[in-house]
Amino acid sequence: MLKIGILHGDDIGLEVVPEAVKVMKAAAAKTGLQVEWLPLPIGKQAHELHGHTMPDVTIEALKTVDGWLQGPIGHNAYPRDDPTWINPPLRKKFELFASVKPVKSYPNLPSVHKDVDIVFLREVTEGMQSSSVVFAGSGEFRPNDDISIGMRVVTRKGANRVAREAFEIARTRERKKVTSVHKEPVFRLVCGMFAEECRKVAAEFPDCTFEEVLVDGFAMKLVMKPQQYDVVVTTNQFGDILTDEGAGIVGGLGLAPGLCVGANQAMAQATHGSAPDIAGQGIANPYAMIMSGQMLFEWLGRRRSEPKAADAAQRIARSMDRLIAEAKLLTADLGGKASTSQMGDVVAAGV
């Protein structure tokens, strides 16, 4: 029995997360996978109920689950003086160290490139994001009005575990190729340590191909010939930029799912925000949230050696591929006229 939390978030989170849950429940029913679903408040709803957008009751409950679905937080949905900053501290608290982001093109959807199938892994608990690099206080400071200083942290543990996850994912894929992206010749210590750990892990995976590419050249090659990449692993700030570039070459935010993984838990979270401009109209594209849930099942299947979860993940992926290939019931951002729930219904029916 798996236990999965449901955190809707705000705005279109209230529309796309239920579609992901609907599809996951349908796939679980088909495979006989037992799941206990646990709805938990965050964002505006939590602020109204508990006076806090990420209340202790939710944090405590998350400690008991195998993974959770998290909708986007709409920062305009609640008062600006709320002290909560949700995503980076949450990743740090639960040691969700890798943000896994697939970038996949579809033959019949508009995109800059075709035949792209990349999985990015961005380290998200250290690097250059100020909240990630220190236990208390901020990793940035301004000693006088003319100088601002920011820290960048790389640890052997952090680099090793994200590299290991990258190779484990590569092993499940056809090309079995990992590209480590860094800038060691310039950032000799921080990128150097990241590169060293990637090389160490690569030696343990002789069945996978390994290459290293400097980040500036990689950014250019990704735009020109993204088809050459399979699994790409990189540090926090480089990954922040490259994953958006990746989403851009295959069609944008509506098609960008994600999973933040830790040693024992994972959080399914689409790249997009809460899209207040289209909230409440039933037109948000549920693809990214549904496929984030699909990734959670796939990860649980691998990590918990739970073949029913792996089967459920494959069913969702196949059903989504069929829906897109038929191109009948797509949301407006993909050129169709379907509503959020119509698209979810078809994927759920096809698992």
Report the interface residues with ligand NAD, using CB under 6 A.
Answer: 12, 16, 72-76, 87, 253-254, 269, 272-278, 284-285, 288, 333
| Shortest CB 204 distance to ligand NAD, Å | 33
Are 170 and 202 in contact by the 8 Å Cβ rule? The answer is: no
Question: Which CB sits closer to ligand NAD, 17 or 348?
Answer: 17
Q: What single string gives the DSSP state of each residue in 273-301?
A: ---TTTTTTT----HHHHHHHHHHHHHHH
Sorted by sequence, the CB contacts under 8 Å of residue 191 that are 6+ apart come out as: 154, 182, 183, 184, 235
Find the helix packing angle between 307-326 and 340-349, rounded to 10°.
120
Q: How far is the CB of 14 from ligand NAD (least distance, A)?
A: 12
Gap between the Cα atoms of 291 and 45, Å rounded? 24
The residue nearest ligand NAD at its CB is 273
> Structure tokens of 114?
């075709």
- The residue among 87 and 130 lying less far from ligand NAD, judged by its C-beta, is 87
Q: How far is the CB of 326 from ligand NAD (least distance, A)?
A: 19
- Minimum Å distance from CB 303 to ligand NAD? 23
Return the amino acid letter for 246. G
Q: Are 279 and 8 in contact (CB under 8 A)?
A: no
* Integer Cα distance of 22 and 25 in angstroms: 5
Nearest residue (CB) to ligand NAD, 100 versus 170: 100
The nearer residue to ligand NAD, 12 or 181, going by C-beta atoms, is: 12
Question: 52 vs 164, which CB is nearer to ligand NAD?
Answer: 52
- Closest separation in Å from C-beta 193 to ligand NAD: 29
Take residue 130 and report the two structure tokens written for it: 């100020």
